[in-house]
Structure 1
Amino acid sequence: MSAARPARLLPSTAVPARRTVCSARGACGVAAVELALLMSPLLLLVFGASELGRAVFSYNMLDKSVRDAARHLSQHGPGDATIATEARCLAVYGTTDCSGSALAPGLTTGMVTICDATLCPSTHANQLTGSGTVNLVTASIQNYPYRSVVRFVVPDMNFNTIAVTMRAQL
């Protein structure tokens, strides 16, 4: 049997630095140019989607606050000015005593409209339904100015009237 030869160690060689090789047609930097061209539409799409999501979130928050105000009105008799003021505060601040900050920036109690059997008798008093005669209450927010953060993508806008109507006590 022959003796095994020891493995020969190769001297370490330095790895040469990679060099950018441009094609014969001058394709250096094409990826950077493509990225620059695609970045603007992608940024517009991302900012637009996030801003529209914010608008939907704000609208939903206002809708819920108006629903709470209408529910508060429906639990009391028509014509009570204190209850109407509490409902306005509930729609704007989320509390019946108008404490704290507004639920949405720029929202005021002047934007809240209340209708019940006393304030709007032609449309809310003794309304005939399939189950008999009922009184109605309506709480609404009109002309809320939504302010966009990214105005160059989604401009400022005013929301249409956000209203909720419920059955009230007779």
Structure 2
Amino acid sequence: MTRQRHRPGNQRGVVAVEFGLVLPVLLVLFGGMVELGHAIYQYDALTKSVRNATRYLSEFSPEDPNYPLAAAKCLAVYGNTGCTGTPLIGNLTTSNVVVCDRSSTTAPSCQDLVYANYMVYDATNNGSTGTSVGTINLVSVKISGYQYSPIQAILNFSGLTFGDIKTVMRQVL
């Protein structure tokens, strides 16, 4: 049995070939991580904007003649009540924003919850048993049908639609 001697020159370029084989896989993984982070950022920004719009509307009564419905939709989309500037997230419009309160309970997208005269119970964590302590009115703002806008068109995540993002709060009586 003879032993072969390896010269340093025989292994030249092997690392470059291995790197060339692994690089596409690493780039796809990195691109996927970036897109996932971007999707989480967009979802978080949408959640915060919905919460701000709901908090804004919770201070007003829907029977008020100056009820700021359009201003709340602008707040959810642009971050201000005047609809000025660019949208907080690309592809977001005021048509994606749905407002439900005690005066708009007949809309098809508002029939998932009772918004007027919601019964509140004592000592049972708002269960349906116990002593009734009165009623409250609710308001919700929902972003529905928002399509994710990807950073890269290579991976083609453009067909993804987020589920409804909704916040419900107590409204003034």
Q: What TM-score, normalized by structure 2, do the two folds share? A: 0.79
Question: Which residue, out of 23, 26, 29, partners 1:42?
Answer: 26
* Number of aligned residue pairs: 148
Contact 2:59 2:172 in 1 (8 A): yes
Percent same amino acid at aligned positions? 39
CA distance in 2: counterparts of 1:79 and 1:140, whole angstroms = 20
Contact 2:148 2:157 in 1 (8 A): no
Contact 1:51 1:148 in 2 (8 A): yes
1:1-170 alignment to 2 at 5 Å? 21-23=8-10, 27-80=11-64, 82-120=67-105, 123-131=114-122, 132-153=134-155, 155-156=157-158, 157-170=160-173
SS at match of 1:124: coil
Q: 1:1-55 deviations in whole A, cap 9, x for unaligned?
A: xxxxxxxxxxxxxxxxxxx8433xxx43211111011111111111111111011
CA distance in 2: counterparts of 1:163 and 1:152, whole angstroms = 31
Q: 1:38-90 deviations in whole A, cap 9, x for unaligned?
A: 11111111111111101110111111011000001100112446411111010
> Superposition RMSD on alpha carbons, in Å?
1.8
- Structure 1: which 5+ residue stretches go unaligned? 1-19
- Structure 2: which 5+ residue stretches go unaligned? 1-6, 123-133
